[in-house]
Amino acid sequence: LNSPYARDIAHHVHPQTNLRLHESEGPLLIDRGDGCTIIDAEGNRLIEGMAGMWCASLGFSEQRLVDAATRQMQRLPYMQTFAHRSTDPVIDLATELTAMAPGPRAGESMAKALFACSGSEANDTAMKLVWYYHHAIGRPEKRKIIARRRGYHGTTIAAASLTGLPNMHQDFNLPLPGVLHATCPHFYREGRPGETEAGFTDRLVQELEALIEAEGAATIGAFIAEPVMGTGGVVVPPAEYFPRVQDVLRRHGILMIADEVICGFGRTGAMWGSEAFGIRPDMLTCAKALSAAYFPISATLVSEAVYEAMRAESDKLGNFSHGFTYGGHPVGAAVALETLAIYRERDIVSHVRRVAPRLQDGLRALADHPLVGEVRGVGLMAALELVADKDTRASFPAARKVPGYLAACIQKRGVLLRGRDDGLLFSPPLTISEAEIDTILAAVATGLDETL
């Protein structure tokens, strides 16, 4: 009764979990990590096919990150960055991140970085900055924000409002008023019979234009998007989607926020998802792989124009009254700096490009399986959508828990993946080898046959 399993059930609330089910099933207790593998309390080895939560980009035993954290802990374990205080790692990280992140125009990078501890906080910050910016430029009524159905931006009140997943709103009294959700650019699910992908993109762009007109461009402050939707099911948009969306936004003076919390730092096979999908953001949020998940840290990066407005507004009001106790934590900054150094030295983007075809082609080879509706993905993120009927594309009723059953079959073969309502998600550490990808693929193929 005093076992960790019993105490977990007795005392620990698990996020994003069916709480009643947890009381009967108990936790999967993870003991330690070894490269891209985790080892549970019973000694079972599991390849982490989701890199934890899309974040453990360098696996689980990167000694350089441990050393970077230890050095900084010993030197100065904490300092705040309110009211002019700063530390070397924070300054170095801000310098490096702003230089590497794409800005609003070709060849331009970001101007300033503002730090927090999670993707949700980074997106909350971005939302507040949209309002602050529009106050500064004399258009305070530009308050509404357009996000997209199936987008995921986090779980705090503002970020969960931006999130376009109904279960994140239900009975939490969300979304907040003023957050609008546009159509998800998923051709397989949202395309109409007879529509081409180009026609689908045309329609989404027209819908966006119509939404802006109906609401009034003078009331809309920003559009936020993940370059590739992650949690919503690894939705890779049509190539023309973002450049065309961005044309519409520019015409109406609406800021573009790129949520790079998953896509940033190589996940798509480019350093930034924005680069891969033609986004020129006014603000960019990042977290997760920023520190390879070894320390919680996130950043909201802003363009020169956004920063100039922030400066003017803070001067008018006497203060920029936003920020977190742990924003710019020196240990997080030191770990992030070392993470970026490792990405550079090992040319992580090239590694992703080299091994990604093994995952993407291997999954596409499963496309004819009777349970598989669509295989989609880019770089080292992918989804396999399960259908009850390939022709009608009908999903399985939630009560049948087919993706959960499949994920459990795969887990028995030594691979940990995340089952969503309608399929499986893949997001292994960026350091994954082709041999490990083969193990994942073999487990998925066997699991599919067992589920049939």
Binding residues for ligand PLP, rule: CB under 6 A, are 53-54, 118-120, 123, 152-154, 226, 230-231, 259, 261-262, 287
* Cα atoms in the Cβ-side hemisphere of radius 13 Å centred on 68: 22
Decide whether 52 or 447 has the Cβ nearer to ligand PLP: 52
Q: Which of 255, 302, 263, 264 is nearest to 283 (CA)?
A: 302
* Run of H or E including 261: none
Structural tokens at position 62: 């990167």
Q: Which of 212, 272, 283, 209 is nearest to 244 (CA)?
A: 209
Phi, psi for 214 (deg, rounded to 5): -65, -40
Q: How many Cβ atoms from other residues are within 10 Å of residue 410's Cβ?
A: 27
- What one-character-per-residue DSSP string does 85-142 give? ---HHHHHHHHHHHHHSB-SSTT-B--EEEEESSHHHHHHHHHHHHHHHHHHTT-TT-
Alpha-carbon distance of 72 to 93, in angstroms, equals 14
Phi, psi for 125 (deg, rounded to 5): -60, -45
Alpha-carbon distance of 356 to 447, in angstroms, equals 21
Side by side, the strands of the sheet bearing 372-378 are: 372-378, 381-386, 423-426, 418-420
- Exposure of 339 by Cβ count < 10 A (0-12 exposed, 13-18 middle, 19+ buried)? buried
Phi, psi for 71 (deg, rounded to 5): -55, -45
Q: Which of 69, 100, 114 is nearest to 314 (CA)?
A: 114
Smallest separation (angstroms) from ligand PLP to the CB of 230: 5
Phi, psi for 113 (deg, rounded to 5): -120, 140
The alpha carbons of the chain give a radius of gyration, in whole angstroms, of 22
Alpha-carbon distance of 244 to 265, in angstroms, equals 24
Smallest separation (angstroms) from ligand PLP to the CB of 229: 8
